[in-house]
Chains A and B, each alone.
Chain A
């Protein structure tokens, strides 16, 4: 049931990208999809009753959660902010040229 709730969050983001007409709302929908995917990856690697994967003094072999999805998600979060910066730069250029954020009015590709 938890996995399905996480996927429902992804579907909310997808709905926002498909329906909305404001360019910034579409960007926010993409961010919601990124959050849900990172949450899903960590949920797959969770082990009930285990501790964080950091070896402390004196304790050698404890019960650790899965460290591999955590390594992937750290890079995914930082890549997410770089793509957000690129998307916002593109939105600024579009506003500079067309003076609106409405996607139904941004039509012609003027050379």
Chain B
């Protein structure tokens, strides 16, 4: 077991390293990406550009710049080129909104995926299944910014039931916090419920023909017990692992579209703004944050699996 964990850790660090290098190189290779020109503005003279280059070390070899950027990011002293603000602080400021959105939506989408997936599997071929399948299909076909715009317009402007967007900190006003997040939670969840319920349905239909399910029925367990203890328990494995990865992406700014349409000022919106300004440091930091979240959660999921399922550990 220890060996498995160590192996997984090494792979994790390797992937993170590769992602950071790749992002760094990609941002460097961007044709008009010269950071000195962006810092100096359009009217900077060659001499000024030269000074900026020396001050920030842009004239050093790439690997030196890479090491320096990483040092700055991990010591929390990375400053954005365009506004001169501390990037790590900026990301931290966005985290409460992003975490509220992603954790809330994560719970919602996991719960409803399991419900819808199970119902569509056990009612396979019936009317209920058809209706839910159509809904799931609709769910995966709605881009979040369009769904968000429709909800804001009809429920916000027209019916005046929900606010038009924005984020209220949880500790300022818990009720307003929740009211402001209802639509974003829904918008973000719909997509995932659509996908997950389809996956769960097909894994349940796979599991249902397994020998151990027949055995469970044969030994006289009730249909409910068979479903919960034997079928669901096994079918949920892929769902939970997908959930871990998707949640990580959403925490790391992946909800960029939902955050933008609802104006939540989270990490995703910060990423969007820094991309609009072509602010390399900020993009690098957000990318790293997402990558860390994804890779760490993926590793946690793997280790949990190995603990639960000896086939993975030994195979």
Are A and B a genuine interacting pair, yes or no?
A: no
Q: Which residues of B contact A (CB under 8 A)?
A: none
